[in-house]
Amino acid sequence: SKGDFEHYMLKEIYEQPELIRSLTQYYFQGEGKESLEEATKLPMKAVNISACGTAFYAGLVIKDYIESKNRVRCFADIASEFRYRNPILDKEELAMFISQSGETADTLAAQSMCKEKGLKSLSIVNTEGSTLYRDCDVNLMIRAGVEIGVASTKAFTQQVLTGKTLSEVLAHGGIDDELRNTLASRYSLLAERVEQLLDNTKPIKDVADAIYKHKGFFYTGRGAYFPIAMEGALKLKEIAYVHAEGYASGELKHGPIALIDEEKVNVALVGEELFEKTVSNIQEIKARKGLIVSIGPKNRYELKEVSDHYIELDFEGLGDLAPLYVNVVNQLLAYYIAKNLGTDIDKPRNLAKSVTVE
Ligand code: M6R
């Protein structure tokens, strides 16, 4: 049941801190340990990720982790493209599939193609016993519980953290108490920050009230914030029915900037990395009269100067988990905009929770 929440989506957003905290126990001391161990033994000359929608964006963040932390080449594809493009695959490589339902038709087809070509497959999946779960060699469960809202929220967070856990175990060379402690404290710090955000959503609600009538949204970010930008835009399109796009911060000037005027909103996701460069990209939008909503590290004068609305976050100590924190802001922003617009948040028009047709 929804309990005190008006929508399942909101309830599921609020479940995230507890879910984030539960993951290390499951993988280091619980049932998940065995599958995590098996996953580290799979061939991994390269990793081929395929997934759809939100799960694909989670895949892009995981690609970032695996490439930067493990220095293993990683490809991420939309499953409906991957399966038809005759990809170059090798038995020494891993096929990785990400899915909440485990029933997405294109993801399943991508898996059976990889299997035919002799690759081992690993899933990052929520639904035990699903087709994907049954077909893969090893399954890493994301342990998000049932997700009812069509818009995927908690599943994304758990998918990324599950991929992150695998990447950390590979880099560390095994599963032990030292790594468990490190990850448990890093994940709890993330959970704590998300909790603080959820305890006071007024700043996000205020921004939603100020911008919900606008017609076009550009979410921008660099590095891991680029997939987070695409995920934020998807959430808004899906539940609020307004046009939104996710773009790499440096790419707007190669075309889309022609669209910028006072009616457009730039939701700028700003990390600590390449901070100045990202701020100067925001300035380019500002100069064309775009409305700036920045989400980034707190107390930054340069960001305050350039923004119409500045959602200040405490990034201290979060490192490469900070994009997940920003993503929760995006979830709430989309939720409150949709609420103001009066759309059917849990069951948006034209959509199904699980896409079992190709
Ligand atoms: O069940 P899956 O994770 O395989 O589903 C993939 C997409 O259909 C799904 O993430 C979709 O994009 C969501 N509705 C986005 O919120």
pLDDT band at 82 (very low <50, low <70, confident <90, very high): very high
Ligand 1 center–CA 73 separation, angstroms:
25
State the pLDDT at residue 56: 98
pLDDT beyond 90 at 310: yes
Ligand 1, atom 12, residue with closest C-alpha: 53
- Mean pLDDT for 2-25 is 97
Ligand 1 center–CA 112 separation, angstroms:
19
Ligand 1 center–CA 155 separation, angstroms:
9
Ligand 1 center–CA 277 separation, angstroms:
32
- Mean pLDDT for 237-255 is 96
Ligand 1 center–CA 4 separation, angstroms:
25
Helices 225-240, 53-65: axis angle to 10 degrees equals 170
Tokens, residue 213: 């009538």
Beta carbon of 55 within 6 Å of any ligand 1 atom:
yes
State the pLDDT at residue 1: 85
Locus of tokens 């603080």:
196
Ligand 1 center–CA 60 separation, angstroms:
14
Ligand 1 center–CA 132 separation, angstroms:
14
Candidate of 354, 356, 357, 358 to mutate for ligand 1, largest count of ligand atoms within 8 Å of Cβ: 354
Beta carbon of 107 within 6 Å of any ligand 1 atom:
yes
Dist. CA 50–CA 121, nearest whole Å:
11
State the pLDDT at residue 285: 96
Candidate of 52, 60, 82 to mutate for ligand 1, largest count of ligand atoms within 8 Å of Cβ: 52
Ligand 1 center–CA 55 separation, angstroms:
6
Q: Measured from the CA of 107, which atom of ligand 1 is nearest?
A: 4
Beta carbon of 355 within 6 Å of any ligand 1 atom:
yes
Q: DSSP letter at 70?
A: I
CB 218 within 8 A of CB 252: yes
Ligand 1, atom 14, residue with closest C-alpha: 151
pLDDT band at 354 (very low <50, low <70, confident <90, very high): confident
Dist. CA 243–CA 15, nearest whole Å:
28
State the pLDDT at residue 358: 84
Report the chain's mean pLDDT, rounded to a whole number: 97
Ligand 1 center–CA 309 separation, angstroms:
30
Beta carbon of 151 within 6 Å of any ligand 1 atom:
yes
Ligand 1, atom 10, residue with closest C-alpha: 54
- Mean pLDDT for 5-26 is 97
Ligand 1, atom 16, residue with closest C-alpha: 151
Q: Measured from the CA of 150, which atom of ligand 1 is nearest?
A: 14
Asked casually if ipTM beats, i.e. exceeds, 0.85, the reply is yes
Ligand 1, atom 8, residue with closest C-alpha: 53
State the pLDDT at residue 357: 86
- Mean pLDDT for 322-332 is 98
- Predicted TM-score (pTM) above 0.95: yes
Extended beta strands in the chain, E state: 46-51, 73-78, 94-99, 120-125, 138-141, 216-221, 243-248, 264-269, 291-297, 309-313
Dist. CA 188–CA 180, nearest whole Å:
12
